[in-house]
Amino acid sequence: MNSITEILDELRIPYSHSGDHRNVREGFVGIDCPWCGHENGKRHLGISIEDGFGTCWQCSYHSLASILHTISGLPYDRIRALLDGLPQTRLRKKQVHRGHLRLPDGHSYINGAHYRYLRGRGFDALKVVGLWHLGGFTLHPQYNWRLFIPIHYRGEVVSWTTRSTGRVESGKYKSATPEQSVIPIKELLYGEDHARHSVVVCEGVTGVWRIGPGAVALFGMAATIQQVKKLSQFSLRVICFDNEPEAQRRADKLAELLAPYPGKTERVCLKSPDPGGATADEVAEIRANWLS
Ligand SMILES: [Zn+2]
């Protein structure tokens, strides 16, 4: 087999290309997710043609082998034999490796305190933790009880940040330095792997958790050139910054930077102070207007 679509054809798995289905982004083929959307026609599970990873809007990352095994029922050794035929250059040629990922010592699974924090902020904690692969710290000299937030790009963790779960601690976010990252965080969009044709652009990761797949975050209110270039590749970008004057000025600036590129840039300002604290109605409206 020379390509992912040949394998899907061989296994008689229905799929759509970008352009044929609104939920399928360029560079991906879309299939119905066998875990959460079996044969519903929504094509929520995108498989990256270049990199071979799968990402679902509802249930996050899946390996190509587990996707094919789950849908076809074929044993893993048969699936691996099919995948062995895929040229490795096709799967790897765009992989960027500029630095070495160094994860902070002491990060582990989320525990009760982290769940309480997420629930206290009104998140569906289990869903957020599962979709965004969150971890946590316990007692720690630098990252005391923080959430550990891995940052994925093309299915791999390339950097990370942490978020305070207390009220007294200074510095809401403490992030990997460029030296600790494969790609520095300010050259990434949080949530990019899950985005399709349109993106809702937030400042921080909590906005992405609240709005869900299709939202991306800049890790701050100033976009770098690299982030603007990434955003310009989506045909619709909707800027949704915090509801305060400085953030709105930055949102104006970002809209201006995106204006020369093809596609459309829209602005939305919520009644809630920030997208991370958006109400269920606000989220439903955003998703219906821009991400459905
Ligand atoms: Zn799914």
Distance 38 CA to ligand 1 centre (A): 9
Distance 143 CA to ligand 1 centre (A): 32
Distance 4 CA to ligand 1 centre (A): 19
Higher pLDDT, 169 or 191: 191
Q: Identify any residues that bridge with 46 across adjacent strands, giving them in sequence order.
A: 30, 55
Determine how β-strand 45-48 pairs with β-strand 28-31: antiparallel
Predicted local confidence at residue 168, as pLDDT: 61
Distance 253 CA to ligand 1 centre (A): 36
Distance 58 CA to ligand 1 centre (A): 5
Architecture category of domain 192-290 in CATH: 3-Layer(aba) Sandwich (3.40)
Distance 62 CA to ligand 1 centre (A): 9
Q: Where are the domains of the chain?
A: 4-92, 112-187, 192-290
Distance 259 CA to ligand 1 centre (A): 34
Average pLDDT of the residues of the chain = 90
The CATH number corresponding to 112-187 among 2.60.40.10, 3.90.25.10, 3.10.129.10, 3.90.980.10 equals 3.90.980.10
Distance 53 CA to ligand 1 centre (A): 13
Predicted local confidence at residue 38, as pLDDT: 79
pLDDT in tens, 12-66: 999 999 889 988 988 899 999 999 887 888 899 999 988 788 889 888 888 898 8
Distance 43 CA to ligand 1 centre (A): 9
Burial tier of 207 (Cβ tally within 10 Å: 0-12, 13-18, 19+): buried
Contact residues for 184 (Cβ-Cβ < 8 A; gap 6+): 99, 159, 178
ipTM for the whole complex = 0.98
Rg (CA), the chain: 19
Same CATH fold, 192-290 and 112-187? no
pLDDT in tens, 102-141: 999 999 999 999 999 999 999 999 999 999 999 999 999 9
Distance 219 CA to ligand 1 centre (A): 26
Distance 44 CA to ligand 1 centre (A): 7
The C-alpha atoms of residue 139 and residue 137 are separated, in whole angstroms, by 7
Predicted local confidence at residue 91, as pLDDT: 43
Distance 100 CA to ligand 1 centre (A): 30
Distance 199 CA to ligand 1 centre (A): 19
pLDDT in tens, 182-228: 999 999 999 999 998 899 999 999 999 999 999 999 999 999 989 99
Distance 131 CA to ligand 1 centre (A): 10
Distance 180 CA to ligand 1 centre (A): 31
Q: What are phi and psi of 17, to 5 degrees?
A: -90, 165
Distance 213 CA to ligand 1 centre (A): 12
